[in-house]
Amino acid sequence: MKKLGSIALVLCATLTASAQGKFEVKEFGSFKLHSYITADPLGDMSYIIEGNKSVVVLEPAAFHDNIKELGEYLGKLNKPVEKVIANYHAAGFSAFDNSKFVMIEGMPQFVKGDVYSGMMANFATTFGNKMDISQFTPSVTVGKDAKENWAGVEFKFSPGASSDFPAASILIGGKVYYTHFTPVANMHMSALQITSLEAVDAQLAGLEHAKASGATTFIGGHGGATASAEAVNFQIEYLKKVKETRLQIQTGDEFVLVMQLTYPDIAGEENLTAVATNLYKK
């Protein structure tokens, strides 16, 4: 619970004004992936999986400006919304018919618990009526190892990282793999992902599963619109180095120095201090 609380607290720390988002589209033969970079204060991503006759929304937008923008974009596609998967992000429910919503087993209970409720209360205080934090009861709850076909596309679910919220990773159409965070190459990983030494193992297992899935494109609820297998491979090797260094080095300051020297030319160096704090906390 403490690990999950750390994730929630860091998510609450980003306090910037909302901005207009943008869309990127990739084609995968039988379906299209529309990535919505919301540019919201939480760095959220939303996705539309477009089949021949209908669409599935993955992680609805949470802020009212983005809800409006996403709704206008969906209107231009001129296809009905078959399902809305609220996986890691339980917000934005006012934009769709509740009968369309899907959650992963464990998440409906988790969002009512202290960690998630506390996070949403923080958001309400911070963002006021700019954010849609209305609650709902999902019409469908799917298992963490479920397989579904929506909009003519197969959605294959598997448990997400054990150190994170009890949501799911999703293989979409055998080609696109969704996790909580889009993998990023040549950048230090954040304290949201590396919350403890145990979380390093959990994130590694999740990335190895993603790599073995056969997917060619990787997406997430935060970060870039899409990523390649190169980013997954980078993060696997990066986490192995994090674990090796933590087991060999005795202090957080030394850990930061070793990681700086090992990766002298990559972005996100400012993440190292918070990561070290998580790894060396008593």
Residue-level pLDDT, tens digit, the chain, 282 residues: 444 444 443 444 333 334 478 999 999 999 999 999 999 999 999 999 999 999 999 999 999 999 999 999 999 999 999 999 999 998 888 889 888 999 999 998 998 889 888 888 898 899 988 999 777 666 789 999 999 999 999 999 999 999 999 999 999 999 999 999 999 999 999 999 999 999 999 999 999 999 999 999 999 999 889 999 999 999 999 999 999 999 999 999 999 999 999 999 999 999 999 999 999 997
- 152 CB-near residues (< 8 Å, 6+ apart): 30, 31, 51, 52, 53, 54
Alpha carbon distances (Å) from 117 to 16, 39, 122, 210: 22, 24, 9, 29
Alpha carbon distances (Å) from 134 to 14, 96, 148, 263: 21, 12, 27, 43
Nearest to 38 by CA among 223, 226, 270: 223
